[in-house]
Structure 1
Amino acid sequence: MKRLFFLCGLVVWSGIMWCSNLRSNSPCEPLRTTPYSHLGTAIDIKLPDKNGIMHNLASYRGTPCIVCFIKGNLVSERCILLSYLSRLHPWFQQKGIQLFGISTEPIETCIEDNALIPFPLLFDHKQIVSKKYCTDAYSPFGSAFTTFILDKNSAITRVLNMASIEELVAQLMISVLELNGDLTTQDTDKDEVQRELNKQTADSSMERSITPDIELFDSNGNLVRLSDYRDTWVLLSFADNIRGTREYERFLYRLNEIYKWLQQHNITILCACAQPVEELARFQKHSGLQYYLLSDDKRIIPERFEEPWCFYNEFLSYLIDPTGNKVTSFISASADLHFAQLCHYIIIHEIGAH
């Protein structure tokens, strides 16, 4: 009996060692591959586009690049991400950044007009590149959209590995702003800025409506009037912690990340929360936010704007032009979705750009 147990144990041990050696000899090592292990290293990818034209990232040395692996459980998810990237592509070009998409599937067959994809979409049919750089490349159910931001030497400076399209787009915008130094306020001619603002206000074809005047106390107990912010763009936001403090604070810190970028575009943040002044004062003291929070514990903002308000949409923002008219509004229950929509709108419509 002891000999039988010994032989069984020997067989099991031999099987484990054989599998271990087999895996160690595998050129891909999929289970140990993580996108973050390539951080700081230069990558050299050679793949063809839909026309069979070979693209070599090495030929783009000297230009910052974004490499996004288009991967998702559903075709619709991949198309949504492509739509976001296509609309942001002109902005990336303006910043001097080259965008690449990499897919293992012929995504263009799912889109009626191939011209909707203005950037190089490369195909990795054998999944050689995807298996090397993506965590879940081997899994048919893997849905993380791995994205690399490369410097001028093709070295990976930032890794974004997220399953949420909205969160990926939000973080991508922040990364591009930081790369270009847009988060540093620059000195400009105030008269020139004001002329540009007046021009945008007069020429814009966006529908606008008169904004009701709002008076709220900030975390220091000072009365803040919305009417005092004429002659500047205002982002008036309302946040409630209906689903818990995590998503609520996530929204506040998302605004904080783009605070200086909004300043550069002459956009002022007025963010109200459904908490009393005392609670906001304690949070403001330790949060490190660059803007002051307003107390709207009676939920005056949703009531005055007469929006279809419900307890499942705790984030509400209004973009108000320098004449005091509401340009557009954003309502959502997701902080990342809200942030992505907001930044996308400001970029596409060049709000406050100068």
Structure 2
Amino acid sequence: MLEVGTKAPSFSLPDQNGQMHSLEEYKGKKVILYFYPKDNTPGCTKQACNFGELYPQFQEKGAVVLGVSKDSVASHKKFEEKFSLPFTLLSDTELSCIKAYDVWQEKKNYGKVSMGVVRTTYLIDEEGVIVKAFGNVKAAENPAKMLECI
């Protein structure tokens, strides 16, 4: 996990509509950058839906929410439409952003070891500096906790 107080790594990734997004375009806003393992899985769906429910409150506080996984643009589009998600989902199939934010790690599941995305959320300030970092977050609780941090 990246340290609080460090400059957030820049990125350029496509969203669920294929439009490119970079961290630089959000300068002047707080950014909730959350990394999750996979679209349409129980934990990831709960986390995304909770961010969606709270999204107006994030907007009121001048923050944007960006979800990142290694799923494809098409997968993100289906996920967004199925749950009416009001925020941006970024596709990182090359793992460039995922690795830059140090969330591609060894995971153990039922004794099997594999590499994957560790659910992690960063709060980045208006100047692009990481001000909060949470690793191994609880999917359902994460959105409300992030709202409190702003």
TM-score, normalised to structure 2's length? 0.79
For 1:121 and 1:169, the matched residues in 2 are separated by: 15
1:73–1:89 CA distance, 2 compared to 1 (3 A): closer
Residue 120 of structure 1: aligned partner: 88
The answer (yes or no) to whether the contact 1:136–1:142 under 8 Å persists in 2 is yes
CA contact (8 A) 2:33 2:65 kept: yes
1:108 aligns with 2:82: no
User: Contact between 1:42 and 1:153, CA under 8 Å: does it hold in 2?
Assistant: no
For this pair of structures, how many residues does the alignment match?
A: 142
Alpha-carbon distance between aligned partners in 1 of 2:93 and 2:106, rounded to the nearest angstrom: 13
Distance in 1 between residues matched to 2:41 and 2:83, nearest whole Å: 18
Task: Give 2:62's match in structure 1, choosing from 72, 93, 96.
Answer: 96
CA deviation string 1:203-242 (max 9, x = no partner):
xxxxxxxxxxxxxxxxxxxxxxxxxxxxxxxxxxxxxxxx
Shift of 1:132: 2.0
Higher strand share: 2
Which is higher, the Rg of structure 1 or of structure 2?
1
User: How far off is 1:57 after superposition?
Assistant: 1.1
The structure 2 residue matched to 1:153, chosen from 127, 140, 148, is 127
Give the secondary structure class of the aligned counterpart of 2:13.
strand
Gaps of 5+ in 1: 1-34, 177-354
Q: Where does structure 2 lack aligned partners over 5 or more consecutive residues?
A: 108-113
Match of 1:168 among 142, 147, 150: 142
RMSD: 2.6
Query: 8 Å contact 2:34–2:120 — kept in the other structure?
Result: yes
Change (3 A) 1:114 1:54: farther
Percent identity (aligned): 25
**1:146, distance to aligned residue in structure 2 (A):** 0.8
After superposition, the Cα gap between the structure-2 partners of 1:63 and 1:127, relative to the gap in structure 1 and judged at 3 Å, is same
Whole-Å separation in 2 of the counterparts to 1:147 and 1:162: 9
The structure richer in helix per residue is: 1
Higher relative contact order (CA 8 A, sep 6+): 2
Q: State TM-score, norm by structure 1.
A: 0.36
